Amino acid sequence: MPEFDFIKAAYGLPHDRIPIWIMRQAGRYLPEYRAVREKVSFMELCHSAELMAEVTKQPIDIFGFDAAILFSDILLPLEPLGIKVSYDNGGPALTPQVRTPDDVAHLKTYEPADEMAYVLAGIKEIKKRLDGIVPLIGFCGSPFTLASYMVEGGGSSRFAEIKKFIYNHPKAAHRLLGQLAEQTGRYLKDQINAGVDVVQLFDSWGGILPLDAYEEFSLRYIKMAFEICKTEGVPRILYLNNTAPYLKQLAELDCEVIGVDWRTDLNDAMNILSGKTIQGNLDPQLLFGPGKLVHEKTLELLETVAGKDNFIFNLGHGIQPEALVDNVKLVVETVHSFNIKRDQ
């Protein structure tokens, strides 16, 4: 029997209180995080085991979340492929862009255990500092999401280039995605070997695809990565932004938890994904609003999942810089006291 309620919930096992964590919980909304970032750049932070451990632990100490998540970035594993990633001007910028079969053929291959050793060292330091109080979540971007960044050269509002690429060069797209799936799976496995207790894949951009293309270009490679890192006692979470259209397809995926976005009907998710644990899905932008509303909407969400052992509370997407710290405290308190109520 696992020790943490978080791990029990991930396997749908009986436990005492609904666990809660928040995507991007160590982030710019938090004054303590911003204080660290005033001293070092984002890249310096991602390369220092000491600082990674410090910011990873901050939200645990401040809010009492039930899980910590490795402080890192989904784009870092692209650097050993020969892609330069810069965070200097707002969003990330990647060079060179990968847009032709030839570009794909020229990517390097690498051993995650070697090239990502600085992240694995960070994991060991974080585990030491957490000292067993909460489980640690490791993560990676989904192959399709990483490919989108590589092809677009950064974030995008239209994703025109990745669509041109998969429709016009499907063979090269499959070659790229296959390579990313293998490296992603092995990187997650290395994170598990270094000590993480849970892994999450972020499919941030899969939700732009038609259903058949989602199956062909995203889900297929998530399956490959999850197959490679499958480990007894280590639950695998897939978070997909814009989840609702793909629920039936996700039901087929071999993993323990599906993270759903804030537009997904929780009852639908529970029904269609029966046998899996659901993670989500408060609107992150609700945390810009008044406490009364935050409390009310958190309670409404909790009523939907009352008495269910297969639920992990989270936002429906990463927390945003404008989120009010008091609202985060309120959500955690509401979730934790609701659990006590359930036991009465």
Catalytic site residues? 24, 28, 37, 73, 149
CB neighbour burial string for 55-71, b if at least 16 within 10 angstroms, e if fewer: bbbbbbebbebbbbbbb
Q: Cβ of residue 29: shortest distance to its own copies, in angstroms?
A: 12
102-to-82, 161, 173, 175 alpha-carbon distances in Å? 14, 16, 11, 11
Residues of the shown chain interacting with its own copies in the complex, contacts defined by CB under 8 A = 155, 157-160, 163-164, 167-168, 207-213, 242, 244-246, 248, 262-265, 283, 285-286, 288-290, 293, 297, 300, 316, 320, 322
Cα–Cα nearest to 206, from 253, 268, 169: 253
DSSP designation for 231: B
Strand partners, 11: none
Q: Closest CB to its own copies among 42 and 167?
A: 167
Per the CB < 8 A criterion, the answer to whether 113 and 123 are in contact is no
Cα–Cα nearest to 49, from 129, 134, 169: 129
Q: Closest CB to its own copies among 81 and 315?
A: 315
Per the CB < 8 A criterion, the answer to whether 65 and 133 are in contact is no
Q: Cβ of residue 319: shortest distance to its own copies, in angstroms?
A: 12
Q: Closest CB to its own copies among 117 and 160?
A: 160
Q: Closest CB to its own copies among 104 and 240?
A: 240
The amino acid at residue 239 is Y
- The length of the chain in residues reads 344
